[in-house]
């Protein structure tokens, strides 16, 4: 039995059954069910019956099934849509339920827009009914009390204006009045405001190909004037030297603050208008035009800079209302965000034409990032996004002063991803006084500690970290940074590349577990780009990055070692930093490097306090002699307790920087200068020979001693003979037994 026949016999037999079975029918119907058959005529007849029914529910079912039929079969729509339009269009002027009106709007809009390739149908059906349809939509937007219905009508009107712009010239004044009414109402929901903004941004197409550009420019100038007036009204207790406290309308100067008057309710109202004006500018910048448009770039940039220059608690010698000043200060961070959004959209629109304003934009970004107020530091995300977009859309610039200072301010945003430095607890012998018993804590209490440190507690914190990584990536490769700043960025990226894979995703963000993977990909890409960096940064870090990448499990980024070893790029003509100026080791740090690292909140492994210095003053020789990379990279480490053997000490160091045992075997060892090695510790020489130690130079003046003050406990007591007893004497040559020969050895086979 054909599917349409089944529906007609069982599901659509009565109006009540049709209303109950509509969800199932709507889901099952497909284009293959509307192939030519004898049931199509019965199907169309049943739809017409439902559309002319007196029951509102039956009419709603008929409209929904007619819309589904049009989507499944264009041939049926061409033959039957004329009768459906004649029934659905009068419903928009009646007092019908909102679901019925929404179904009629959706059916008529689909029929009018999908039949543009049928000239005869357009001439007979679409052109005569299109003005009626638009007028009905305008009436619904103005008079309806249903928010969902008004939003649907506004979206349908925008689509029909874009599809048939020339047919709406007579209705342009009414459409403008309706959209302005929606934008002027303060209590209007944001969803309807957004739909109204989309409608306004498409009205310039009604003027045709020739007049669309002039209409668009006129709309932009008008919105710019409104935004400037709103900004002046919001900052009524502050002075605005950039605009000279005046705006111009029709060639005459006026102060919009004099008309509105200072009030706290007026501040909120003007801010809402400013927000809608900026949103309208963003929509106009994305609007389609058949021809090129004349963009007022200077005026748009000036408006964005004025919003970003707004200050908090600016000194004003006049008498101001404290409550009004507090209200204006409260909306200042939101004004900053609006200015950043405007400049971001503008940079994506004009690209290289924004170059003359890059220095001014970076200067304001630097001022906002340097402010120490908590309310300003929490709103640093829009400025970082603006910096990334401007740097990405503009060519290489040489703004060295701003670039270095911005980089130093961005680095602290990433230090939270590293392990926190914990002070080592003093030993039990040092804490207790003579005659007191050693206090014992309950073992296993740490298993019941449910509170864990989360780096990004909110979505904005995660976006701040991602924007900081993007900004540092652009700064390293597109600007001329100071050697100390560049070295610190490289060391920070290497430390993050080693430590982040060892951290669980739940410790990075409690909101989105995917943030861990996103950050890993960004950091990995930065480290891979360091290898091919033209400044020679990858020469010293090649072994570390290659060892980490050879064991990495992330997909999507493949290390092409051939392109790194044999680059396909010509040598640089300009002189850049040599690889010797990039400091990756703590022993080579200058006072400037140390000061910059400490000001960024980054400590290094060998800067932790050592409680064993009283017993073994020279117990730091492991870092000096072996030159382990984990000690050299300036990364914070966790040191809850000190190990009791050299192997445990090495394992603890590998865990502190986030490197597992398998990766540590491939990490290259960089040796310090011979003069930094310390003297041997005689008290720990015996224990050193019993413990497995890393590869240490054979110099007798260099040894590896674990930094511990506790006595080393061995599995079994062992009495080590003295050094004099180990020296053989001539008298014992005769009594010395011959060594046994192992017959199973493979020396003969070799």
Q: For 430-486, what is each residue's pLDDT tens digit?
A: 444 555 555 554 555 555 555 567 888 888 889 999 999 999 999 887 777 888 888
Lowest pLDDT segment from 131-145, 200-214, 484-498: 484-498
Identify the domain boundary among 660, 675, 690: 690
| Residue 491, token pair as written in the block | 């060391």
CB 59 within 8 A of CB 30: no
CB 309 within 8 A of CB 364: yes
Lowest pLDDT segment from 77-81, 317-321, 517-521: 317-321
CA 326 to chain centre: 31
Nearest to 519 by CA among 414, 603, 420: 414
Q: Which residues contact 358 (CB under 8 A, 6 or more apart)?
A: 390, 394, 397, 399
Confidence label for 400 from pLDDT (cuts 50, 70 and 90): confident
At 458 the pLDDT is 87
Report yes or no on 79 lying in a domain.
no
Claim to verify: residue 488 and residue 609 sit in the same structural domain: no
CA dist 298 → 68, 225, 239, 260, 302 (Å): 50, 14, 21, 28, 6
Identify the domain boundary among 671, 690, 709: 690
The secondary structure element, H or E, covering residue 252 is strand 252-254
Claim to verify: residue 337 and residue 236 sit in the same structural domain: yes
In this predicted model, what pLDDT tens digit does every residue of 109-138 receive, in sequence order? 999 999 999 999 999 999 999 999 999 999
Lowest pLDDT segment from 54-58, 398-402, 667-671: 667-671
Claim to verify: residue 527 and residue 607 sit in the same structural domain: no
Claim to verify: residue 356 and residue 420 sit in the same structural domain: no
Claim to verify: residue 359 and residue 402 sit in the same structural domain: no
Report yes or no on 622 lying in a domain.
yes
Instruction: Say if residue 576's pLDDT is above 80.
Output: no
Claim to verify: residue 352 and residue 415 sit in the same structural domain: no
- Tell me which DSSP letter residue 509 carries: B
- Tell me which DSSP letter residue 669 carries: P
The residue segments making up the domain with residue 245 are: 201-249+257-313+322-395
Claim to verify: residue 617 and residue 479 sit in the same structural domain: no
| Residue 503, token pair as written in the block | 């951290």
Distance between CA 425 and CA 559 in Å, rounded? Answer: 42
Instruction: Say if residue 99's pLDDT is above 70.
Output: yes
Report yes or no on 205 lying in a domain.
yes
Report yes or no on 403 lying in a domain.
yes
Report yes or no on 350 lying in a domain.
yes
Claim to verify: residue 476 and residue 584 sit in the same structural domain: yes
Q: Which residues of 504-526 are buried (b: 16+ CB within 10 A; e: fewer)?
A: eeeebbeeeeebbebbbebbbeb
Residue matched to tokens 């500018």: 281
| Residue 452, token pair as written in the block | 């864990």
Query: How many domains would you assign to the chain?
Result: 3
Claim to verify: residue 503 and residue 491 sit in the same structural domain: yes
Report yes or no on 442 lying in a domain.
no
Rank 54-63, 399-408, 627-636 by mean pLDDT and report only the highest.
Answer: 54-63
Report yes or no on 265 lying in a domain.
yes
Claim to verify: residue 385 and residue 490 sit in the same structural domain: no
Report yes or no on 740 lying in a domain.
no
Claim to verify: residue 327 and residue 459 sit in the same structural domain: no
pLDDT average, residue stretch 550-560: 48
Mean pLDDT, the chain, rounded, equals: 75
At 605 the pLDDT is 57
Claim to verify: residue 383 and residue 421 sit in the same structural domain: no
Distance between CA 685 and CA 691 in Å, rounded? Answer: 10
Q: Is 298 helix (H, G, I), strand (E, B) or coil?
A: helix
Burial of 740 from C-beta contacts in 10 A (0-12 / 13-18 / 19+): exposed
pLDDT average, residue stretch 547-558: 51
């Amino acid at each position: 039995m054909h599917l349409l026949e089944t529906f007609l016999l069982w599901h659509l037999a009565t109006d009540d059954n049709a209303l109950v079975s509509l969800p199932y029918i709507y889901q099952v119907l497909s284009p293959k069910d509307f192939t030519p058959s004898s049931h199509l005529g019965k199907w169309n007849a049943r739809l017409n019956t439902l559309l002319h029914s007196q029951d509102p529910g039956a009419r709603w079912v008929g409209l929904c099934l007619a819309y589904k039929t049009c989507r499944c079969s264009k041939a049926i729509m061409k033959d039957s849509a004329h009768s459906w339009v004649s029934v659905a269009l009068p419903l928009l002027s009646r007092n019908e339920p909102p679901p019925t009106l929404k179904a009629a709007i959706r059916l008529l809009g689909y029929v009018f827009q999908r039949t543009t390739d049928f000239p005869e149908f357009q001439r007979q059906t679409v052109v005569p009914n299109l003005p009626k349809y638009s007028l009905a939509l305008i009436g619904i937007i103005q008079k309806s009390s249903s928010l969902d219905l008004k939003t649907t009508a506004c979206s349908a009107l925008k689509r029909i204006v874009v599809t048939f712009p020339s047919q709406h010239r007579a209705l342009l004044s009414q459409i403008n009045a309706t959209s302005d009414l929606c934008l002027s109402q303060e209590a209007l929901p944001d969803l309807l405001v957004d739909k109204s903004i989309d409608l306004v941004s498409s009205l310039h197409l009604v003027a045709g190909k020739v007049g669309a550009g002039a209409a668009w420019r006129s709309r932009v100038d008008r919105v710019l004037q409104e935004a400037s007036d709103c900004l002046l009204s919001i900052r009524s207790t502050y002075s605005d030297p950039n605009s000279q406290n005046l705006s111009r309308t029709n060639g005459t100067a006026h102060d919009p603050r004099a008309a509105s008057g200072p009030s706290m309710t007026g501040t909120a109202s003007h801010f809402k208008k400013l927000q809608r004006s900026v949103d309208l500018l963003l929509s106009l910048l994305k609007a389609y035009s058949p021809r090129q448009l004349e963009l007022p770039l200077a005026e748009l940039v000036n408006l964005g800079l004025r919003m970003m220059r707004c200050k908090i608690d600016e000194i004003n010698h006049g008498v101001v209302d404290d409550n009004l000043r507090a209200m204006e200060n409260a909306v200042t961070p939101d004004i900053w965000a609006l200015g950043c959004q405007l400049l971001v959209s503008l940079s994506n629109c004009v690209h290289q034409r924004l170059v003359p304003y890059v220095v001014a934009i970076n200067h304001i970004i630097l001022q906002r990032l340097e402010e120490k107020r908590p309310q300003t530091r929490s709103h640093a995300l829009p400025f970082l996004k603006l910096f990334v977009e401007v740097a990405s859309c503009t060519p290489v610039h040489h703004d060295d002063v701003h670039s270095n200072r911005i980089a130093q301010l961005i680095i602290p945003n990433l230090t939270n991803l590293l392990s926190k430095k914990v002070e080592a607890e003093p030993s039990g012998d040092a804490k207790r006084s003579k005659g007191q018993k050693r206090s014992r804590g309950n073992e296993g209490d740490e298993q019941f500690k449910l509170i864990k440190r989360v780096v990004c507690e909110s979505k904005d914190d995660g976006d701040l970290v991602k924007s900081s990584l993007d900004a540092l990536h652009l700064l390293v490769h597109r600007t001329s940074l100071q050697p100390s700043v560049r070295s610190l960025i490289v060391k920070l990226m290497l430390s993050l590349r080693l430590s982040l894979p060892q951290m669980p995703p739940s410790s990075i963000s409690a909101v989105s577990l995917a943030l861990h993977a996103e950050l890993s990909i960004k950091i990995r890409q930065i480290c891979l780009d360091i290898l091919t960096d033209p400044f020679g940064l990858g020469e010293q870090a090649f072994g570390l990055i290659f060892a980490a990448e050879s064991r990495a499990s992330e997909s999507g980024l493949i290390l092409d070692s051939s392109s790194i070893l044999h680059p396909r790029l010509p040598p640089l003509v300009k002189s850049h930093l040599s690889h010797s100026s990039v400091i990756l080791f703590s022993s080579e740090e200058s006072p400037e490097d140390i000061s910059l690292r400490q000001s960024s909140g980054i400590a290094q492994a060998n800067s932790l306090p050592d409680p064993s210095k009283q017993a073994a003053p020279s117990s730091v020789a492991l870092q000096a002699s072996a030159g382990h990379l984990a000690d050299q990279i300036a990364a914070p480490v966790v040191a809850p307790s000190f190990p009791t053997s050299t192997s445990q000490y090495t394992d603890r160091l590998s865990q502190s920087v986030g490197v597992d045992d398998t990766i540590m075997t491939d990490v290259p060892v960089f040796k310090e200068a011979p003069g930094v090695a310390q003297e041997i510790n005689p008290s720990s020489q015996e224990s050193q020979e019993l413990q497995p130690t890393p590869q240490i130079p054979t110099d007798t003046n260099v040894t590896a001693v674990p930094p511990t003050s506790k006595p080393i406990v061995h599995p079994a007591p062992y009495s080590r003979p003295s050094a004099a007893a180990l020296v053989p004497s001539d008298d014992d040559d005769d009594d010395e037994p011959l060594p046994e020969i192992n017959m199973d050895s493979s020396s003969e086979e070799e």
